[in-house]
Amino acid sequence: MTPAVPAGLILAGGLSRRMGGGDKGLQRLGGETILARIAQRLAPQVSPLLLNANGPAVRFGLGLPVVADTLPGHPGPLAGILAGLDHLARDVPATRFLLTVPSDCPFLPRDLAARLAAAAQGSGAAYAVSGGREHPVVGLWPVASRDTLRRLLVEEDERRMMNWARHSGAVPVEWPQAPVDPFLNINTPDDLLAAERLLAAYPAL
Ligand SMILES: Nc1nc2c(ncn2[C@@H]2O[C@H](COP(=O)(O)OP(=O)(O)OP(=O)(O)O)[C@@H](O)[C@H]2O)c(=O)[nH]1
**Does residue 100 line the site of ligand 1, with CB under 6 A?**
no
**Does residue 45 line the site of ligand 1, with CB under 6 A?**
no
| Binding-site residue positions | 11-13, 24, 52, 69, 104
Average pLDDT estimate for 37-61: 92
Task: Give 141-176 pLDDT, tens digit per residue.
Answer: 999 999 999 999 999 999 999 999 999 999 999 999
- What is the CATH number for 176? 3.90.550.10
Instruction: Give kind and range of the element (H or E) at residue 67.
Output: strand 66-67
Average pLDDT estimate for 21-38: 94
Distance 102 CA to ligand 1 centre (A): 8
State which residues form the domain around 194: 7-201
The answer to whether residue 2 is domain-embedded is no
Q: Among 6-15, 56-65, 142-151, which is the least confidently predicted range? A: 56-65
Q: What is the pLDDT of residue 22?
A: 81
Split into its structural domains, the chain has a count of: 1
Q: Is the pLDDT score of 105 beyond 80?
A: yes
Atom of ligand 1 nearest to the CA of 12: 29
Distance 18 CA to ligand 1 centre (A): 10
Q: CA 76, 126, 40 angle in degrees (round to 5)? A: 70
Q: What is the pLDDT of residue 4?
A: 66
Asked if 125 and 165 touch (Cβ cutoff 8 Å), the reply is yes
- The pTM assigned to this predicted structure is 0.96
Q: CA 166, 1, 102 angle in degrees (round to 5)? A: 45
Phi–psi pair at 133, nearest 5 degrees: -95, 130
Nearest CA among 128, 79, 76 for reference residue 101: 128
Distance 197 CA to ligand 1 centre (A): 24
